[in-house]
Structure formats: C-alpha cells, structure tokens
Structure 1
Amino acid sequence: MNAVKRLYVDGTFGQIHVRVASPLGAASRPPLYCLHQSPKSSLEFEDFMKHASSDRIVVSFDYPKYGMSDGPETESEVSIRVYAEAAFQVADTLGHDYIDLFGNHTGGKVAVEMALMRPQAIHAITMISAAIFTQEERKSFEDLFTPIPLDAEGTRHKVNWQRIIERHTDNVSLETLDRSFYMTMMAGEAYEWGHTAAFAYDIPFNEGLKTLDQRITIFNPTDDLTFCTQRATKILKNGEVIEKPEWSHNLLAAFPEDIAKCVREKLDASPV
C-alpha cells in the first residue's frame, strides 16, 4: 500500500490541510478527490487512500474549520459551495485540472456542487449515500444534529461518543471508534456546521442529480440514509444506485480495500 503524505495549501480562510497518496509508478487515471462527511475530516479516508492510489493520485482535505484546516469565525460564512471552492483551491494549487470525485454523505453534496461549478473539470462522481429528504425527515435530522453546548458534565462528549458506539460494526475496533470521536471533537464549536450546510443544500443537490452529465454512482450501505438514498434511482440523469447492505457505519475503516475496488471499477468504466 502507498504512503499518505500531508501538506498545506492556501485557501480563503487561511491554510487547508491536505492528504495525498501517489502511485508508485505513473498515474494512468485522473486524480481522485475524496470529500468527507460531517463532522469528520480527511483522516476518515486515510486507509481507503492507501488502497485506491495504485494507478492514480488520491487527494483528501479538511473542509474549512474541520480537522486541521483554518476556517471562518461564523457559521453564516459556511456552505456547501464554500467547501467546493476549497476543493478547487487544493486542485488548482496541485495542478489538477481534471479530476474524479468520491464523496461520503456531506461529501456527495460537495461533489455535486463542484460539478455544477466547473463541469469541464469533473470526469465522474462516486458517493456514499444520497440525502434526499422529505421536509419531515430533514427536520428530524436537523433536530438530531443540533449542537450540544459545552458543560462541566461533558454532555456533548458523552452524547457524541454514545452515537458512535450505537452505530459501530463488529469488525471495527474501539481505537477506530476513538479516532472517529477525535475527528468530531477537533471541530470544536463548529462541529455541526457541516450538517447545517448539507441540510441547506437539499434542492441544488436533487437538481444536480437530475441534470449533471457526469456519470454518478451512488453506493447505498446500511445506515441512517439507506431509505432516502434509494430515491436517487428515479431522478439520476446518468448513473445508478448500487445496494451495499454489507457496508454499514464506519465503512471506510471496516472495508477500505473493498470500497476502493468498487470506486475504482466505476470510475474506470467512464471514458476519460
């Protein structure tokens, strides 16, 4: 497996933290950009990147205010478009003008926005899940991910740890779950900004699935979005939903090699 190296590039709000895995030989496919879920960071892709970089450069980065990236001071300055702009700031700095995308949950919405912003720069899109909500479902998720104020009893930490434990799979270690918790807490008071941005992007996301020419492959694991991801089948202009019931929560840690293989197969099937 290839090593993952880290670097920083300049962005709108300061520095953007980036992870890069490169093939041992010459790259034969467009670079693959990985877009993380909320409220995590590029760290969730590290194992995946080692497997996915056999024939291409694989890049992931922390959205502004997440992981080790600088970010704005107020939530009103954050949006899915801001995350997409950050992705292109990384790509422009690294000299990548034609790329593939792999988004996880919130990252799927970032991928769609990137393709809408610069359609000529995006080859194909893969993503984990598609948050296609009814108004009632969206309200339920917004309530679930309402930020929990800090207190001396550690309520925020206890609730977030309990959510991680409740959603773990048997083949994921406590150390891996701790890493997931660590990613969430790194964002501090901004830890739910990404969910808020994702919920606000419902309509553009649905329209993007209906109108984008790029091939879009959506993998549907067993998780909180299984039921709404299936709705994408009826609206995708060019793509498919692939049921993956054997994948579940913490799937990038539990199945990095399998996911890398599936993503690579679908990207390779789209002519460059």
Structure 2
Amino acid sequence: MTSVKRGYTDSRHGQLHYRIVQPDAPTGAPPLLCLHQTPSHSGDWLPVLPTLGATRTVVAVDTPGYGMSDPPPAPTTIEEYAAIIADFITELAAQGLVPAGPFDVLGFHTGSLLATQLARSLPDRVRRLVVFGLAAYPADVRAAKLEQLPTLFPPPDATLAHVEKLWAIIGQLSDPRVSAEQRHISMAECLRLGARMTWGYIAVYRYDFLGAMAEVQQPVLIINPEDDLWAVTRDVSHHYPNGRRVDMPGVKHGVLHLEHDRVVAEIEGFLA
C-alpha cells in the first residue's frame, strides 16, 4: 500500500499543512490536488489517498485556518483561498514534489467551490475536476444562510450549548454506519477551531458559485451522495457546461470510506 506522508510549506498567511502520496515510479499522469469540506481537514481524504496515489502523485492540503494550516487574520474569500492553493501547488512543483504542468482537482463541498475557482482562474493548468456536492445557491438564499450562521453554529460560551448543537448536527448529517467514535473525533476537530469554525462557510455563502460554474470549460465529474447537498446538487449540476453527474443514493457523509471502491473507480475512470 502506498504510504501517506505529511509536510508543510509557506503561504501568505503562514504555513500550509498537507498530505502527499507518490507512486513508486513516475507514471506520466497529472498530479491530483484534493480539497476538503468545511469544517474539516485533509485527513478526510485518507480513505482514498493510498489507492489513488498508486497511479499518480496525490496531494491533500488543509485549507488556511483548518487542520494544521495557519489561518488568515480574518474571514476571507473563496478567491483568496484558491489563490493561496494555486501558489501552494506551484511551490510543490518547484520543489520537485509533484510533476510540473497541468493538474487535476478533487473537491468535497467547500472544496468543490475551491476546485471550481481554480479551474476558472487557471484554465491552462487545471485539466479536470471531480466534485462532491455543490453548495450553489442564488444570491438571496446565500444571504439568508450567511445571516443564519450564528444561530446554526453558536459561538463558544460557558454553557456548552454550542457543543450539544454541533453534536446534533453531526449526528444528523453522518451516515448511520459512521461510528459514534468517528463522529466524536470529527466534533473535536471542529471545536478545536473555536469561533473560526464558520469562516469557510462565510466564504462559501459570499461566493457566486452558480456564476463560476458556468465559466468552467474543463470536463467535470459531479459525484452526488445523498447528504445535505443531494437535492441542490441535482438541481444545479447542469450549470457546468461539460459536467456529468453520478448520483449515489443511500449514503450520506462518510461516502469516501463507505463507498471506497465505487468512488475510486469513478474518479480513476474519469481522470483517465
């Protein structure tokens, strides 16, 4: 099994933490950049990293402010996150850690927005996209969701009400097959972020994802598990001019582990 290694590199807001898998010998395949959901980190991709990394170099990076990457000084935008990640993959290529030239991008929820912005801003470098879940809403819905964030995710206080609410949300979103221990680990990662936990959501709801999707000319595979973005993904996936959607009913959050073989087969088949 190909091993997963970890490293750090510098960015405009401090250090970025990443996980990387490299095949035993060069394969000629473009590298694959993996971008996680909010609020989480590159460890989300561990169920599939070793398998995908057998045939190409695969890198999963912690979005600034999440995982072990240093945060920006204040909530920022999808455009700035994507610019930082573009600099990151360029730096890894300069260090010889990933092949130079075009690369593919794999995104999950917030990572799907980042992948889309990368494709939009780097049309000559981003070759293909695979995205899980499309949080793409019209402006009025985005504004309402932005306003609801403090209620949905209350800031930390002495009552620990925010902990109970977060545990309930995680239980609602997780596939029933995800263990209580794994849910606890996910919650602990969220709590470690403090009031910064929602910054990724702020960026999501300020971004015109629908408009950005229409500008992406690269081939896009949309994998749609039956999680909280199931319905909206089905409604908006056609906004990618060259997109193809694969629905995966019956599986919620935890899809990378629970449907490992099918997910890997879909990704590898599309990227090949």
TM-score under structure 1 normalisation? Answer: 0.90
Report how many aligned residue pairs link the two structures.
264
1:194 and 2:200 are equivalent in the alignment: yes
Aligned to 1:40: 40
Structure 2 residues without counterparts, runs of 5 or longer = 94-99
Aligned to 1:3: 3
Question: Contact 2:62–2:68 (CA<8 Å) still a contact in 1?
Answer: yes
Which of 221, 226, 229 is the equivalent residue of 2:230?
226
Cα distance in structure 1, aligned partners of 2:21 and 2:188: 22
- Secondary structure at 1:152's aligned position in 2? coil
Aligned to 1:19: 19
Cα distance in structure 1, aligned partners of 2:225 and 2:148: 20
Post-superposition offset of 1:63: 1.0
- Secondary structure at 1:7's aligned position in 2? strand
1:55 and 2:55 are equivalent in the alignment: yes
Question: Contact 1:132–1:231 (CA<8 Å) still a contact in 2?
Answer: no
Higher relative contact order (CA 8 A, sep 6+): 1
Aligned to 2:92: 94
Cα distance in structure 2, aligned partners of 1:22 and 1:162: 38
What does the per-residue CA deviation read over 1:53-84, in whole Å, with 9 as the maximum and x for residues that have no partner?
Answer: 12011111111111111112222xx1111211
Task: Rate the CA distance shift 1:58–1:209 in 2: closer, same or farther, 3 A.
Answer: same
Aligned to 2:97: none
Supply the AA of the counterpart residue of 1:169.
D
TM-score under structure 2 normalisation? Answer: 0.90
Supply the AA of the counterpart residue of 1:26.
P
What does the per-residue CA deviation read over 1:82-103, in whole Å, with 9 as the maximum and x for residues that have no partner?
Answer: 2112211221111143110011
Task: Rate the CA distance shift 1:245–1:39 in 2: closer, same or farther, 3 A.
Answer: same
Cα distance in structure 1, aligned partners of 2:50 and 2:42: 13
Structure 1 residues without counterparts, runs of 5 or longer = none
Give the alignment of 1:1-272 within 5 angstroms: 1-75=1-75, 78-95=76-93, 96-135=100-139, 137-139=141-143, 141-146=145-150, 147-201=153-207, 203=208, 205-268=209-272
Cα distance in structure 2, aligned partners of 1:232 and 1:240: 12
- Secondary structure at 1:120's aligned position in 2? coil
Post-superposition offset of 1:186: 2.9
Post-superposition offset of 1:143: 5.0
Post-superposition offset of 1:117: 1.6
Post-superposition offset of 1:184: 1.6
